[in-house]
Amino acid sequence: MKFRVDGRMYEFDQSRITIKEAMQIKTATGYGLKTFMEGLQDGDPFSIASLVWLARIRDGDTGLKFDDVDFNLIDFEAENVEEDPMLPGVTPGGPVSTSPPSTGG
């Protein structure tokens, strides 16, 4: 999947999460991989923060702590959220939207 945060584009291969990364997500959020992946579909802030955290670590920011990840959630843009064959039933619903729903009237 590709996503933009703080004006920077990242590409994250969600089918290549290592056991260490999975354990880091579990420690930081309490989420297993299925919950993490479902949370990406639902716009869950802990899942999105985990995604950004792992992508930045993979990109060389190895000292980054989960609690130090902060950005404007409304500006987060993601595309190409793909179903992971290791997590059947977690299917994409299109781009992840973190915008609040519009109100009629």
Q: Would you list the domain boundaries of the chain? A: 2-79
More confident residue, 89 or 22: 22
Average pLDDT over residues 81-98: 45
- DSSP character at residue 82: P
Q: Give the whole-number percent of the chain exceeding pLDDT 70.
A: 75
Q: Which of 30, 67, 42 lies closest to 52, judged by CA? A: 67
Return the pLDDT at 86.
47
Q: Per residue in 54-79, pLDDT tens?
A: 999 999 999 999 999 999 988 888 88
**Which DSSP helix (H) or strand (E) runs through 2?**
strand 2-5
**Which is it for the CA torsion 52, 53, 57, 63, positive or negative?**
positive
Q: Using the CB atoms, write b or e for 66-93: b if 16+ within 10 Å.
A: beebeeeeeebebeebeebeebeebebe
pLDDT band at 99 (very low <50, low <70, confident <90, very high): very low
Give residue 80's pLDDT.
Answer: 62
